[in-house]
């Protein structure tokens, strides 16, 4: 039988941050924000909490171009992301055509246990207009 995770201050704090943020953020960024808010949580615990949440599909995880893992609280169901490289602001998008296409391609080539990654990166309008400021 699987044990329900305990309701600790630390895990609540991490979830609260994810609630507030609207874009993707790294574990280290979340750790910093927690420190700023005065409800410090150990870095290891931040990583562990995010892992658990990601496995439970309560948050989405993806890698940026530098290979860092970013996390975000998302709506349920399979979807993809349009992510601002600069600020992490994110738009959730659906691509039912893409899903079918990917599965068909995989099947045609005899691949099993298929998964796919699809993310769109760009610079959002806000960050574009904030260029070259002092």
Contact residues for its own copies, defined by CB under 8 A: 63, 67, 69, 82, 84-85, 91, 93, 95, 97-98, 101-102, 105-106, 109-125, 128
Query: Are 53 and 45 within 8 A, CB to CB?
Result: no
Q: Which of residues 65-94 bind DNA (CB under 7 A)?
A: 67-69
Quick check: 36 binds DNA (CB under 7 A)? no
Distance CA 114, CA 107 (A): 9
User: Which sign, positive or negative, has the C-alpha torsion 67, 72, 78, 82?
Assistant: negative
Angle at 13 between CA 6 and CA 57, to 5 degrees: 65
Q: Report the partner that residue 93 touches, choosing among its own copies, DNA, none (CB closer than 5 to 8 A by kind).
A: its own copies
Q: What are the residues binding DNA (CB under 7 A)? A: 3, 5-11, 26-28, 40-45, 47-49, 51, 67-69
């Amino acid at each position: 039988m699987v044990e329900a995770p305990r309701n600790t201050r630390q895990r609540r704090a991490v979830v609260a941050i994810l609630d507030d943020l609207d874009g993707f953020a790294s574990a280290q960024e979340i750790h910093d924000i927690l420190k700023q808010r005065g409800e410090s949580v150990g870095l290891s615990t931040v990583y562990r909490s995010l892992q658990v949440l990601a496995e439970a599909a309560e948050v989405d995880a993806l890698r940026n171009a530098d290979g860092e893992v970013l996390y975000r609280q998302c709506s349920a169901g399979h979807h993809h992301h349009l992510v601002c490289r600069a600020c992490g602001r994110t738009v959730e998008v659906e691509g039912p055509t893409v899903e079918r296409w990917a599965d068909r391609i995989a099947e045609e080539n005899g691949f099993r246990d298929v998964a796919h990654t699809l993310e769109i990166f760009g610079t959002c309008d806000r960050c574009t207009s904030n260029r070259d400021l002092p």
